[in-house]
Structure 1
């Protein structure tokens, strides 16, 4: 019975693969036909497709007017998009293009002397003019053209981009206007004779310098936990079991590369100012993989507005991904996490030699890594009897599993802990063959 089910499953998979290959063949063949038809119609526009091409172009121009010039490009685009791009067509964009073209033809049909609308345009324009009058049809067609353009160009993104550029230009003009007014004020003071001694200017500059020094963010870099690299300090709950020395495990190595912290802080502050958000840099924490810039927004600023500018920060900092933590737990600050250019390697040996590990009395404690301040982070598996380790390729699933297993092996002997390991691919867990903890 099981053999029949297995054969049936394999037969179904073969049929599915054959259907996929057949669909791909049909799609590629259709794409080639569409592209060839578009090229032939394009040649017919310039009289290079012979009498048949000339007849087809004349007929299409009589029916759809200037649409005959757009038709070759449309056929080539659809062929390339459907055959060699994504297998599905974006029907919303296609409908937007068709709406614009039909509206333009009908618009041309409103004017009897215009021939570029073709018979289709004359019929559509005359019908609309008969129902709504010339003025009503004109307004309706202009509205449909605008709707079609909005569908094709994603008008919301376009308006957002234009508003950002206009706001940035307005801020620049305001800064230049402020500098110009300051220069005029100084010239007026010199002409009228208002005293402004150098001592007062120097005192003002010193006040500004001290104010800037007070607002300079404090930078903290995470420290690799100092601990013993021998097995003497390991918490062991089996007196008869001697855990391997920690020297066989990898140690913390490398230093994180963060680039110019001050320049990044200025970029973050300037980016928010371009959108009308004023904030102050509070502290900078350099972690193994990311650097967190803690900022304090001005009173009344919505956190949702700050979070929505993550993509703008990625563009300004040339970094991806940028994560915004709003707010930082336990603080009235917003954290902006920027990936480090080079990452520091956190070794399991450093985590298992930390005092937090050796002083804990939990037998099912497992090491996970370090937080942004360098503090070791552990998890008690007894509180999570059902766990799922998931993630994209290269996200660290295998490293997490090995860290969990190794932590338990160092902490418990075979009398207290037994493993049942299932590895269908025989790739990830083969290193544990022969350990005394296996059933």
Structure 2
């Protein structure tokens, strides 16, 4: 019986409120002062009120106390009945009753203020009643007519907003749209409809334009629509309180009609303008950073959240749980670009393990592609149940790059992760992670994510502040970055050479630590600040000391100039582990343990996070992890230490485990096209060619066999090749008494191989003398002009 009552409770409650509203309306409509009432208890005349003696006494009480404002009561009852039939909560708490009483008081007072002498129903009923007349009398004595008008109108509007739980915009907009709706659908008023369309349409647009003149987002200027924003919809025990009144202004602009959210795609080819509102640095010395306009504006088409679908899924969720004796209530819902998370609060006697085993059953009941259960949500007393949306919304990289957070000066190496499950944009600092593991099967979006990370870094850094080491065995995923000047060495396609590159990174890390120790710095930022303040005399002393070591095969014992961040990006880490697991693991663990302060960071991507690839030592030292959809629960546990990644959607759906966080958070990775990638990289390749680091090149040569330069060029320079800076460098050399390859490298900011080759050319032409041990070569010519 109890279950039967719960099943039909909303219909019963709705009928009771309908009956109450009709009874009140009939009593007030048929009110006659001559009928029996509190003022005429002794009368024996027949009752004309449609609701008898009770209706006569009730109507007289309402009109005498509230005046004509009493008509609000049947209207409020009908409103409650509509809420009941729609499955919304009809409970009247103390807060609601107080608001209703205050609203009736202000309305009655307004009637008495403006129409004090107006009498109705045989001059027996005033407009404001006894309540309105009393309140108005005291207020006018204190504030006068004008002051009371301001107070009452302000209070009335405020109480209406609180009581109806609707914004002021909706309250003013609703009568216009309702009248418009009625006029358009009455055939007898067809001509009036044409006139009203013009008047109401212009009023509606004018009001919307005035209302929407608010402060723009500090980053994204989007006239037609905005990027997803975080929304939370509170829900009561019976899932009857879902209110989607918190519509974003962008969504209201898209569809001015009073419609519910629909999951149908808005068919529009319009683009929404996305640009930087914040001023950012466009140039770093001689380097010009790419402009955000290189990325295409995202389409204005958006998927909208359907509140009916959310409520229906909530009811199905609770019913399915009850079938398995898991009782509780849904307390909220957070819709996002790809999934909607329901917050389910189980009863105290329900075990969490019973809920986690119901993922497949819930997926079937909700007709969802995937259901993931977070039991419990960290720091909360609820369980998160994520269900896929019927239609997914694409997250575009341009929206993330246009955010203030991405250009925050405190975030030196920003990674554009995308959007969280609730639509909030997410940017993290690679320095604080300080390394990242990325896993995902084919088609999950892993490669697009890695490319979007690199593209985002190219918007923030020049080769002066960031250098890259790319390992791309497939020769496809990172091909667009082959010729950018940020490269420390050519893109590596051979696994054995990649091992040598990791060993070089260790040597570079050790050298940076020696440099930081010499200048008393604790990190790369402190070191760069310290060496930038060195005088020219001190720099010259450091140069002379390091040049003495050149003959022994050491370019520099330590650095005395600012050093860039270094990001080592490995696209297929599993291939490296398959070739030489022991050495690769040793090098990665060493870098992961120590490289953070030196400014060297690892991004290791793989398709299958097998146990022999992501070993215990690697997991321990790389806490930052991203997992896209993987093949099995075992793969998910290896990369994230828990299952769930196997239930993700494809095309960018991912889980991000941040350092120091116990539970991974769901995100949706950004999307960008190949054309956009090529436009960004072309901005850099047109400014300069890659100039590879000398020690890095030697490390690759030491691997046993040379390497390929971008574009298929061989590293060895042809004897007859002419250097375009030959004359400039020759003129400088002629002014010196002694010269070395490292001096030319630093002076003209060119790679060491190129500088060494020029020294050999100068020797063959008699400009400089033969090698002299560890000392610089003697210059044999006088100054040339």
Bigger Cα Rg? 2
TM-score scaled to structure 2, two decimals?
0.29
Normalized per residue, which structure has more helix? 1
TM-score scaled to structure 1, two decimals?
0.49
